[in-house]
Structure 1
Amino acid sequence: MSTRNPMNKRSQAQQSGEVSGFTRKSVASAKPARSAASSVRVVPASSKEKRRQAQRGESLVGLSKEEKRARKKEQRLREDRAYAVSNELLRGEPEYKSRRRVFWALLAVGIVATLFVWAMMVFAPSGNAGTMQIAQIAGLVVAYAAIIGSFIYDIVRIRPLRNDARSRAEGMSESKQIALLEQVAAERASKKK
């Protein structure tokens, strides 16, 4: 906190004992003079989850522990159902399958290149050190490029498909979600028989 100029009128008034107003130390310590009206909903913005609940209109204020647990359990069930439905929607898309194959292939290339470099360091003879170092550096470059490339590919090409499936699943009614999951379960059961 900075010090005031002693020539400032407020500083002179405080020194002489003639305090005319009230100043607070910081804005954070300021509180409303009276409580909010009954039609105003005060929502603490201390965490993302509380903000999300407030946006959905699901305030847990004033509920007992059992009621809060029940509400949270219900919310988790809804989210789990939406994830399950979005996964089933993704399984039906051939584009998603092919993109996942590319992702796993890139990741496998990166891991194999890393293992190759490690094997060269451990098992290679130390006779041709210059050539080995170049090969190791090239292998590491390939490994890093493949691994980082696989994650970038996932973000750029696969995540939009996942987000689309998630939004479609959340857009479905609860009965449609349950019907889709039951249909998929019945198809899997018939395939097993």
Structure 2
Amino acid sequence: MSTRNPMNKRSQAQQSGDMTGFTRKSAGSAKPARAAASSVRVVPASAKEKRKQAERGESLAGLSREEKRARRREQRLQEDRIYAVSNELLKGEPDYKSRRRVFWVLLAVGLVATLAVWLVLLGIDTGAADIARPVQIVGLVIAYVCIIAAFIYDIVRIRPLRNDARRRAEGMSEAKQIALIEEATAADRAKREAKKKK
């Protein structure tokens, strides 16, 4: 047998007489070294965890076909409600309309430049050939720059507003969400009736 190092904690505890016991953890409590593969289905060990998962709507295993449909329908209704509430919150945002207008202007300029390049390529422009080539290049550059700038502008300036509105909508209670949607539909209905009367 090998001898134990005298500086080891267990050896020192034995010598001093206050042996508290050193046990190893069981292999069953060990955590996996890496995440499970995509084809592996991880199932909770206890029935209590399975029930909690089913209540949260995460697992549809063990439910009848009608229960699964009802659960999915409820999730879709909740998503639709959150989407509608976030849209209503965005309508009240003063910066959102102006930023969307800038996005659409950039996109429209890019599309018009693309259309102009196509017209020059098709020969509708009756100008000289040496003028057509620079017009095509400049038009394509303008088109690419405007279209790419529009999408970058959307990601940088508009998406944060959308994400914030969605976060606020998700934070609302269901009753508040429904009340906000009903107020918005009533206001839209009143606007339509006012237009009809004019």
Task: Report how far residue 130 of structure 1 moved.
Answer: 2.5
Task: Report how far residue 36 of structure 1 moved.
Answer: 7.0
Task: Report how far residue 192 of structure 1 moved.
Answer: 2.0
* Structure number, greater radius of gyration: 2
**Residue deviations 1:146-172, cap 9 Å, x none?**
011101100110000000000000000
Counterparts of 2:134 and 2:154 in 1: how far apart (Å)? 30
Task: Report how far residue 55 of structure 1 moved.
Answer: 11
Give the match's secondary structure for 1:58.
coil
TM-score (norm: length of structure 2) = 0.69
After TM superposition, where is structure 1 displaced by more than 4 Å over at least 4 residues in a row?
A: 39-42, 53-57
**Residue deviations 1:21-69, cap 9 Å, x none?**
xxxxxx98xx9xxx97435858xxxxxxxxxx78945321100111000
Gaps of 5+ in 2: 1-35, 194-198
Q: Is the 8 A contact 2:103 2:151 kept in 1?
A: yes
Partner of 2:61: 61
Shift in alpha-carbon separation, 1:143–1:89, aligned structure 2, 3 A: same
Counterparts of 1:166 and 1:36 in 2: how far apart (Å)? 31
Task: Report how far residue 187 of structure 1 moved.
Answer: 1.2
Gaps of 5+ in 1: 1-26, 43-52
Aligned length: 151
Task: Report how far residue 180 of structure 1 moved.
Answer: 0.3
TM-score (norm: length of structure 1) = 0.71
Partner of 2:130: 130
Q: Report % sequence identity.
A: 66
* Equivalent AA in structure 2 for residue 128 of structure 1: A
1:127-166 superposed matches below 5 A: 128-166=128-166
RMSD over aligned Cα atoms: 2.5
1:38 maps onto 2:34 in alignment: no
Partner of 2:99: 99
Q: Is the 8 A contact 2:54 2:60 kept in 1?
A: no
Task: Report how far residue 124 of structure 1 moved.
Answer: 2.2
Task: Report how far residue 140 of structure 1 moved.
Answer: 0.4
